[in-house]
Amino acid sequence: MRFQLLLKKRSAMFAIFLAWSWCAGYAQGVLTPHAKEYYVEGKSSIFGYYEYLPPNYSIDSTAKFPLLLYLSGLDAQGDGVNDLDLVLERGVGKLINEGTDLPFLVMAPQSWSGWWESSNVDAYLDFIFDNYRVDPHRVYITGISSGGVGAFTYAVDFPEKIAAIVPVAGRGDNLDVCTMSDVPVWAFHNADDTVFTYRFSTIPIETLNQCIPTPAYQPKVTIYPQGGHDAWTKTYDGSGMGTEDSSYDAFDMDVFEWMQQFAKDTLIVDAGKDQVVFRPQTDLKIDAQVASHNGVHTYAWTQLEGEEIALDNQETSTLSVQDIPVGKYVFSITVQDNYGRIATDTIQVDARPPNEPPVVNTGEDQTIILPVDSITFLGTVSDPENDAISLAWEQESGSEEVVLQLDSTQSDTTKLIVTNLQPGEYTFKLVASDKYDSTSIDTVHLSVISPSPEVVLRFPYVESFEQTTEAAWESYGVNSSWEQGAPEGMIINTASDGQQAWVTNLDGNHQAHESSFLLSPVFDFSALKNDPTITYDLWQHTAPEDQVQLSYTTDQGATWQPVGQSANILGNSSQKWVNMTHTLEGLAGQKSVLFRLELEVKSVGGNEGIAVDNVIICSMGNVVAMPDTLVVEGETLILPLAVDNDDVAEATYQATSSNQEVLPDENISIQGNVMEIRASSLFEGQTEITIYSPDYCVNGTSFTLNIARVTAIGGPERPSKEILYPNPGTGHYQLNIKAPLVEARLYNLEGQLLKKFTNLQRVTPYLLDISDQPDGIFYLQIRTPKEARVHKLIKH
């Protein structure tokens, strides 16, 4: 847009515009500078200003135009002549100078002090009214910084002259703003403004909303999160739309269009915000606000939608409704002023059943084990009526050094990330409120544990709780009542073995709403080859709704896996010590395992809770896989063992035949990691051998041998009834035998079965082929329907 410079000569005449200039007439659609003298309190002073005439100003010489008075900030102060260009550096002056057309007469005066006294502004407006075609019912003021202060101040002092104001980064907190309650106002500010705090704009709007009677037009304030003192650029050019803080009024309309809605002679009626009422409320009053400078002649309320109901006070500004049924309604008010002008507004009323609060769930209580020092809680929130919900996570207890970070990505899900956690107990709560201030709260407890420095490596592990060790068990949780000592309750009054046990309150009831657990030391199962077993003695005296569960973790408490069924299979009351035994499937080879015995109390007391004693963890050994075995009388069978228990030398064992015959103990011995069995004692067929750890591992490990027991192999004392030829041989042999041959078996000298000859034709000689075997000495067992004999066979 073209900038045109016009200089006006000073005159001694008061409040008179001097007509000569370098260019005659007014320029359309441009900013034109002027200087004038005016009279205030007996003083004559220079008062320079820029004028902007809309492009159609000269088309109709009788038309009157709305006036926008722009009050600049402190940094635009000047003498009205030499410094006048400062008015163009910011705000509306800059906007127009850079090419924007506005549907107003725009006047942009320059203050010599930078501040705007209402009397000076009023005198300047008188001059404008005298020299321009201004519609006196549509006078608007906007200002930035100190100019925003001037906009607030003038509206307070002369509310009858102003149709609307838009103060930007201004101040009105120290004014009696209720005197301007009939003036529409929309204030703008940046939250991080350090020149004028944003509260200078929010406080006057809050005060206006509390005025009695309430303003006819809803006062508005829009706050941007950042931008320093300059809140005007994005307000005037509209670029701030969508960047405002949603906690305040939305920037949803061009500010210049917003101002044009209002005029001093316009009749406006506002039925108020749409309402929602909940049972048990059934009565309702609706107060309409009316702005009219020409009086109000009539009021008329009508019902437009909903089940027809009786209306009271229909000819006043306040409508009364009684016994309104549940449903949706629309009411309308029509107002007529003394000159016959009519204004109408509607209001929607939603009559609902009693409001249900939001449903909040923070999830299960959590446990983490250092060095893990962070956790994420995923809460869920929903509202039964699908109303808007506000959410807030708060920390109720625990170290204040933690860092909370909220990550809300969906309307019904909120994620809380907690970092920098230290050992201890924490409680966090999620608060959810619907738009009608109905609130629900759910809490979640977090235990942060520093594990025992001692790691258990030796097995069997036996803990009787008679004394505290470095690898001690510890208690944690909400309202935890766990104690280690001698039980003294009415029901639980003795340890399972010895004097001490872990009990939820040694001498009385557990805590109401207790959610606690007993945590083990760290177990290193990395050297174990078989899954270990855990046994413990449990005494349970709880209510049916209370829960007891043993579980374990292999990932520092991130996840917990249940061990067996819940102990509530005892019926919540064992009445005595009961032994619980579980195989810990999949834990062999795990390097870091912790156990916890958890009590979750949903009752309110009256029971003593639980006690635990004599925890035993052990793992039985593996036995190297053995083939079918040929055992010779008088020899000893040696079996290699791979045993996890440290006390294997003290292990007990039992051998049982397929006929359930038990081998006497004196025939078996274990030395180190080998087992020796006297061959003469073994049974023909299958023999199952089970090894037990001393006193601890009830479920020992077992293995089965297929036994072929013989009393001798060849030799003069036992003449052979068979003729084996040639022997020695090269791999092919003839076996001459009169009896029908059922089967022949080939063994090496270690007694391992190498080959079976079955389905042999009943002809003699029988042909045997061992050419696939290496050269050496073998045993050949001949089986007939009546007996089994053994020959020594040589291949070369």
| The pLDDT value given to residue 45 | 44
Phi, psi of 666 (to 5 degrees): -70, -10
For 359-449, which CATH superfamily applies?
A: Immunoglobulins (2.60.40.10)
At 24, the amino acid letter reads A
Q: Which residues pair with 223 in a beta bridge?
A: 189
The 594-600 sheet, strands edge to edge: 474-478, 515-519, 594-600, 547-553, 561-562
Q: Helices marked H in 484-605 — which ranges?
A: none
Sequence-separated (6 or more) residues with CB below 8 Å from residue 47 = 35, 36, 37, 38, 80, 109, 110, 112, 120, 124
79 close to 59: Cβ distance less than 8 angstroms:
no
As to burial, measured by CB atoms within 10 angstroms (0-12 exposed, 13-18 middle, 19+ buried), residue 494 is middle
The residue ranges of every structural domain in the chain are 31-260, 268-352, 359-449, 455-618, 622-708, 723-795
Angle (CA) 215-219-221 rounded to 5° is: 165
> Alpha-carbon distance 444 to 442, whole Å?
7
| The pLDDT value given to residue 43 | 38
| The pLDDT value given to residue 17 | 27
Residues in the chain: 796
Q: Which of 431, 433, 399 is nearest to 418 (CA)?
A: 399
Q: Which residue has the tokens 């042909």?
A: 767
The CATH class of 622-708 is: mainly beta
| The pLDDT value given to residue 666 | 65
What is the distance in angstroms between the CA of the first residue and the CA of the last residue of the chain? 117
Reported as a single tens digit per residue, the pLDDT across 98-150 is: 888 898 999 999 988 889 999 989 988 988 988 899 988 899 999 999 999 99
In this structure, the number of other CB atoms found within 10 A of the CB of residue 75 comes to: 14
Phi, psi of 632 (to 5 degrees): -100, 135
| The pLDDT value given to residue 784 | 74
Query: How is domain 268-352 classified at the architecture level of CATH?
Result: Sandwich (2.60)
Q: Which long-range contacts (CB under 8 A, 24 or more apart) does 660-666 make?
A: 663/687
DSSP label of 621: P
Q: Which residues of the chain have pLDDT under 50?
A: 1-29, 36-46, 624-628, 633-634, 710-720
Beta strands, E only, 154-243: 164-168, 186-190, 220-224
> Alpha-carbon distance 255 to 129, whole Å?
24
| The pLDDT value given to residue 196 | 97
Note the CATH number of domain 455-618: 2.60.120.200
Percent of residues in the chain assigned helix, strand, coil, to nearest 5: 10, 40, 50
Burial 319-347 (b: 16+ CB within 10 A, else e): bebeebeeeebebbbebbbeeeeebebeb
Provide the phi-psi class of 642: left if phi over 0, else alpha when psi is between -120 and 50, else beta: beta
Sequence-separated (6 or more) residues with CB below 8 Å from residue 432 = 357, 358, 360, 381, 389, 390, 391, 392, 439, 440, 441
pTM comes to 0.46
The CATH class of 31-260 is: alpha beta
Note the CATH number of domain 723-795: 2.60.40.3080
Question: Quick check: do 31-260 and 268-352 share a fold?
Answer: no
In this structure, the number of other CB atoms found within 10 A of the CB of residue 740 comes to: 11
102 close to 93: Cβ distance less than 8 angstroms:
no
| The pLDDT value given to residue 793 | 82
